[in-house]
Amino acid sequence: MSNKKQKNQVDKKPQSFDYDTIVIGTGPGGEGAAMNLTKAGKRVAVIEKHTQVGGGCTHWGTIPSKALRHSVSRLIEYNSNPLFNKSEKAASLTFENILEHTTKVIRDQVRLRGGFYNRNEVDIIHGTASFVDKNTLKIVMLDGSVEHLTAENFVIATGSRPYNPVDVDFKHPRVYDSDTILSLKHQPKNIIIYGAGVIGCEYASIFRGLGCKVDLINTRDRLLSFMDAEMTDSLSYHFWNSGIVIRHGEEYDKIDAQEDGVIMTLKSGKRMKADCILFANGRTGNTDSLNLPSVNLEANSRGCLAVDSTYKTSADNVFAVGDVIGYPSLASAAYDQGRIAAEYMLNLPTEGQLIEDIPTGIYTIPEMSSVGKTEQELTAAKIPYEVGRSSFKHLARAQIGATPVGGLKILFHCDTKEILGIHCFGEQAAEIIHIGQAIMQQKGKANTIEYFIHTTFNYPTMAEAYRVAALNGLNRLF
């Protein structure tokens, strides 16, 4: 073994296992678990089936899509700013152009994350893992050779992949999913995006920002129905205003990929044609290659594993975190799940759980973000609440930055004035939301909307939206 810790234990009693814990996967969940365990003195290895660490979050999901979105957002800003857009012809970029920035971000993230493992003396083993028995893994290395490693405990952090229905030819050069879209080599003039969840909406923004005609097919009756309705209505209007065609309540009947384009036939009888299609409707947990029956585990129909409050599966020494256990399927939550699972594995005196109000950030153009309850949830629960609003177009900082679209909404209890939910739509929404989240996490009288009128904000800032919204809401009370 190459583990430095083992070299330092030559004179000690030999261990019965190669490692204390083996973590399968190096995405946020695997990293969180591995770092907490190794800092507690445990002998840890991570298994990564690709040549670089980081998992889907770094290479195909969170980081690439947000880097793409940033580049396109800056292009839109440049073209809409009269200081720069003095010619009749707008500046343009191809998908390949903006991928150059994305590639650099991925490279920097891989270097950073790889450094964490090296500095903390965690072995990185590149290969595909499957269980042999409750303490043994079979590793098929990248060169085809096979090794067997043993450990007392295991953490499954294998993430998820795009759902690929069998009747769609994903090998065709004009058919993509959210992983393979990063290999797009040509600049489509029009694109069909099937699935209007978080990924579908984000890529709809990206391609429309590049000047593509976008048909966004939503299998439900509204966009992002888990978000506050007022926020999603704002996004729908913004999409419509930018030229994105949204078709709600539709499902595909047939997808015919041809040499010159893709024809989609919907069950309603509608037909549409585009240069290519991005299929972004659902994800599947990466558990099919783990040989789960050998440890008496079984994934559900979505490839996900059931865990208890400590992230332990029904196998006593096997834990699971991240997308592979389903909701909330967020990189931020996965990292915390990994760290919390490690605390339970270490038998530390902890009752660690994810926070109740996990913030959601959706990186469309403009962004959406929320934390806490929606108006619909509060109404259904018969909780008396009031609303405070601030429109960005009235903020000096938004006027200076030419980002007037959107606003902030604070929901608070009519009697106690406790903050119940915060919802934001507009530039930097995912950053702005954390100011309110910090106050929501306070206890007692500290968690009231009055905080925002009793504190002093930098001026001009977007944070001032909280003071404006708080005054607006308190003025509604009688």
Whether residue 209 contacts residue 388, with contact meaning beta carbons closer than 8 Å, is answered with: no
Q: Is the pLDDT of residue 17 over 80?
A: yes
User: pLDDT tens, 359-408?
Assistant: 999 999 999 999 999 999 999 999 999 999 999 999 999 999 889 999 99
pLDDT reading at 8 higher than 80: no
At residue 79, the pLDDT reads 84
Of the CA atoms within 13 Å of residue 253, those in its CB half-sphere come to: 8
Residues 6+ apart with CB under 8 A from 212: 187, 188, 189, 190, 191
Q: What is the pLDDT of residue 277?
A: 98
| pLDDT score recorded for residue 445 | 77
The DSSP string of 230-270 is HHHHHHHHHHHHHT-EEE-S--EEEEEEETTEEEEEETTS-
Q: Which pLDDT band holds residue 85 (cuts at 50, 70, 90)?
A: low
Find residue 6's DSSP bridge partners: none
Mean pLDDT of 96-115: 91
Annotated binding residues for NAD(+), written as ranges, equal 195-202, 282
Is residue 428 within 8 A of residue 465, CB to CB? The reply is no
| Whether residue 289 has pLDDT greater than 80 | yes
List, for residues 233-244, the tens digit of each pLDDT value: 999 999 999 999
Ranges assigned E (strand) in 280-426: 283-285, 318-320, 360-362, 368-372, 385-391, 406-413, 419-426
What pLDDT digit, counting tens, does each position of 290-339 carry? 999 999 999 999 999 999 999 999 999 999 999 999 999 999 999 999 99
At 441, give phi and psi (nearest 5°): -80, -10
Can you list the domains of the chain with their CATH numbers?
4-59+99-161+284-345 (3.50.50.60), 175-281 (3.50.50.60), 366-474 (3.30.390.30)
Number of other CB atoms surrounding residue 332 within 10 Å: 15
Inter-residue contact 342 to 41 (CB < 8 Å): no
* Secondary structure (DSSP) of 109-178: HHHHHHHHHHHTT-EEEEEEEEEEETTEEEEEETTS-EEEEEEEEEEE---EEE---TTS-TTSTTEEET
User: pLDDT class for 15, splitting at 50, 70, 90?
Assistant: low
Average pLDDT over residues 276-298: 96
The helix (H) or strand (E) run that includes residue 99 is helix 95-119
pLDDT bracket for residue 101 (50, 70, 90): confident
133 CB contacts (<8 Å, ≥6 apart)? 294, 295
Q: How high is the pLDDT of residue 327?
A: 92
Residues 6+ apart with CB under 8 A from 454: none
Q: What's the pLDDT score for residue 4?
A: 45
Cα dihedral: 14, 17, 18, 24 (round 10): -160
Check residues 285 and 1 and name the one with the higher pLDDT. 285
Going by pLDDT thresholds of 50, 70 and 90, the confidence category of residue 446 is: confident
- Predicted pLDDT of residue 88: 61
Q: Residue 350's pLDDT is what?
A: 77
Q: What is the pLDDT of residue 1?
A: 45
3 confidence band (pLDDT: 50, 70, 90): very low
Radius of gyration of the chain (CA): 24
pLDDT confidence bin for 356, thresholds 50/70/90: confident
> Which pLDDT score, from 0 to 100, does residue 93 have?
78
| pLDDT, position 322 | 97
List the single range of 86-90, 95-99, 381-385 with lowest mean pLDDT. Answer: 86-90
Is pLDDT above 60 for 13? Answer: no
Omega prior to 404 cis, within 30 of 0: no
Q: Which pLDDT belongs to residue 186?
A: 81
Instruction: Quote helix, strand, coil % in the chain, to nearest 5.
Output: 35, 25, 40
**206 alpha-carbon distance from chain centroid:** 16
What is the model's pLDDT at position 12?
Answer: 40
- In this predicted structure, the answer to whether residue 7 has a pLDDT above a threshold of 50 is no
Query: Which parts are annotated binding residues for FAD?
Result: 48-57, 66, 158-160, 323
Which among 340, 453, 370 is positioned nearest to 37, based on CA atoms? 340
248 φ, ψ (degrees, to nearest 5): -85, 155
* Summary count for the chain: helices (H), strands (E): 13, 21
What pLDDT is stored for residue 329 in this prediction?
Answer: 93
Res. 219 pLDDT band, cuts 50 70 90: very high
| 386 within 8 A of 414, measured Cβ to Cβ | yes
- Distance between CA atoms of 253 and 266, rounded to whole angstroms? 5
| pLDDT confidence of residue 248 | 97
pLDDT tens digit sequence for 405-437:
999 999 999 999 999 999 999 999 999 999 999
Q: Is the pLDDT of residue 191 over 50?
A: yes
Could you identify the residue written with the tokens 């990189």? 331
Per the annotation, binding residues are 48-57, 66, 158-160, 195-202, 282, 323
- Mean pLDDT of all residues belonging to the chain: 93
